[in-house]
Amino acid sequence: MSLAPHPRLLAYAQLLRLPNVFTAFADIALAACVGVSVGPGRPAGEFAGAVALLALASGCLYLSGMVWNDVFDVAEDTRDRPFRPLPSRRVTLRSAAILGSFLVFAGLGFAVLAGAVVIGVALASAVLLYDAWLKRTPIGPVAMAACRFLNVFLGLTVIPDEALNTGMRVHVAGVVGVYIVGVTWFARTEAGASRRWHLLAAAGVIGAALVLALTLRARLPESPGPGAVLFPYLLVAFGFLVGVPVAQAVRTPGPKEVQRAVKRCVLGLVALDAVLATAFVGAPGLFVLLLLPPALVLGKWVYST
């Protein structure tokens, strides 16, 4: 008996890049760990409810970005990637536009309920601007990173201003943002031949994000527990996790190798969030990794890039 999903469901899962939504949830989980570390400033039930609403907002806005990406790219995909849901007509353009619009409004609705209106609107705007225009410009990787930066910042709105200063919020979100600059830059020519210098420069940005992450622990005034000593070692392990396929792609810059590296880096964002979480709450931060198995299982049927 085949375990493959129904073809129609598979088409929508591919349109949504469903495995990747767990990386959006991981950003919110990281923010929740930061909140636990500094003190949520509200009852546990209320804090958990706000985190859940922010996760729903993040997931909806992320998925909307995946849909609108393919809507705006339908002509290019028809030429270069005819197997995708819209060019292959497994999903109609009208259905995709309706789904994308619904997800944007649903995401904003959850953000309003969580009390994160400003960041929610900023994130939705950044997603749409990236998909419609900015990704085709030289600042495309930075625009994509802004979306991820705002996603982490969205999660951090669960923490009162007096419990976490703006500098620390920017630092936490900035690590993820810089990492995504490198990953997006690395992926820009994944469908064709990539230049080795281009991949090397993008890999350097990814490395810079890990250096920025290493400085994060020094800014924390108190140790979150004995598990926090694992943080630098876990960061090095993460470097090898994404560095090996990246190095292979640099050595052999073909589409298959680059796409394999990009997939590892995208799903590796869950691991990066988990590692960052250990800087704040110690070993319990590794529970963020529980978001990785469902992404990997779905990834057997649904592409991530």
Q: Is 2 a domain residue? A: no
Residue 100, domain member (yes or no): yes
Q: What is the pLDDT of residues 79-133, one digit of tens each?
A: 988 999 999 999 999 999 999 999 999 999 999 999 999 999 999 999 999 999 9
Angle between helices 196-214 and 166-187 (to 10 degrees): 160
pLDDT tier, 299 (very low <50, low <70, confident <90, very high otherwise):
confident
Of 277, 175, 202, give the one whose Cα is nearest residue 234. Answer: 277
Give the structural domain span for 171.
13-298
37-79 pLDDT, tens per residue? 888 677 889 999 999 999 999 999 999 999 999 999 999 989 9
Residue-wise pLDDT for 245-264, tens only, equals 999 999 998 888 998 999 89
Question: Is 42 part of any domain?
Answer: yes
- Whether 224 shows a pLDDT value over 80: the answer reads no
Residue 177 is given by DSSP the state H
> Which tens digits make up the pLDDT trace of 171-188?
999 999 999 999 999 988
The per-residue pLDDT for 239 is: 96
> Quick one: average pLDDT of 9-18?
93
The answer to the question of residue 242 being in a domain is: yes
pLDDT above 70: percentage of residues in the chain: 94
Q: How many domains are there within the chain?
A: 1
**pTM recorded for the entire structure:** 0.93
| CATH code of the domain containing 232 | 1.10.357.140
| Any domain includes 1 | no
Residue 260 maps to a domain = yes
CB 73 within 8 A of CB 100: no
* Domain contains 3: no
Cβ neighbours around 89 below 10 Å, total: 11
**Domain presence at residue 305:** no
User: Per residue in 265-292, pLDDT tens?
Assistant: 988 999 999 999 999 998 999 999 999 9
Q: List % helix, strand, coil for the chain (3-state, nearest 5).
A: 80, 0, 20
Comparison of pLDDT for 75 and 301, the residue scoring more: 75
